[in-house]
Amino acid sequence: MNYTKEQILAHCNEFSKNTLMETLKIEYIDAGEDFLTAKMPVNPSVHQPMGLLHGGASVALAESVGSAASFFFINPQEQEVRGIEISANHLKSIREGFVFGTARIIHKGRSLHLWEIKITDEQGNLISLCKLTNMVLDRKKS
């Protein structure tokens, strides 16, 4: 990556405004050469009817952080990223606090990026394990 950690986090948090990420209060908090981490609060706004973190909210966090991470491996003037497949295994439930999604690159190809996203709680317990495939597309010329 040719960006500083501060640039990555500022960019991710800025482009999240007025999106689902802002609605879910997802905040990007850490970045490195092969990972990006975001946090999301767990409260009634992301609960399912039994009062637990909704699996869909976990998947939204995973896809958000994995897609944002791919952005930093492309030339955004010439390319764009689209999530084409995501899978999730929900391993533990949580009722309150924060969850953290950390995306780590598994495969960085010319046209496909494969990410593993681990969602953990504040104690580091694994809540969900997700896999995201992103396609890298050439931007259409205007």
Number of compact structural domains in the chain: 1
Burial 30-57 (b: 16+ CB within 10 A, else e): ebeeebbbbbbebeeebbeeeebbbeeb
CATH number, residue 122: 3.10.129.10
Residue carrying structure tokens 């953990």: 120
Structure tokens at 24: 């879910």
Q: Which secondary structure element, helix H or strand E, spans residue 86, and what is its range?
A: strand 79-90
Point out the residues that are catalytic: 63
pTM for this prediction:
0.94
pLDDT tens for the chain, 142 residues long, are 578 999 999 999 999 999 999 999 999 999 998 899 999 999 999 999 999 999 999 999 999 999 999 998 999 899 999 999 999 999 999 999 999 999 999 999 999 999 999 999 999 999 999 999 999 999 987 6
State which residues form the domain around 120. Answer: 5-138
Residue type, 82: R
